[in-house]
């Protein structure tokens, strides 16, 4: 994925800065791209971290939104 494949998305969220969409994935140009989702009693997150080249996924039973993202970012920290 290169910069020509990305469409800027003007959102400001604690987990996402300098954001874009590309190939159906959310991109934080600083450090990662991937996708997350939450639903009744589950949370999922899968991201590729550009600095380290690591890719991680967390799928879990959860009562609150963002649980999988929080867990994944605590394992692979590239802030």
Helices (runs of H) and strands (runs of E) counted in the chain: 1, 6
Write out the two tokens for 73: 């970012």
- Which sequence spans correspond to the domains of the chain? 3-75
Strands of the 25-28 sheet, one edge to the other: 7-8, 19-22, 25-28, 32-39, 42-49, 55-60
Residues 16-64 pLDDT 10s: 778 888 888 888 888 899 999 999 999 999 999 989 999 999 999 998 8
Examine the pLDDT at 71 and tell me if it is beyond 70: yes
Measured between alpha carbons, how far is 31 from 38 in angstroms, rounded to an integer?
22
Examine the pLDDT at 77 and tell me if it is beyond 80: no
The pTM (predicted TM-score) of the whole model is 0.80
19, 76, 56, 72: CA torsion to nearest 10: -80
């Amino acid at each position: 994925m290169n910069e020509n494949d990305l469409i800027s998305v003007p959102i400001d969220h604690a987990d996402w800065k300098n954001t874009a969409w590309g190939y159906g994935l959310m991109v934080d140009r600083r450090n990662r791209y991937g996708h997350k989702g939450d639903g009744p009693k589950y949370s999922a997150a899968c991201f590729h971290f550009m600095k380290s080249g690591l890719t991680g996924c967390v799928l879990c039973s959860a009562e609150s939104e963002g649980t999988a993202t929080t867990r994944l970012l605590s394992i692979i920290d590239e802030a």
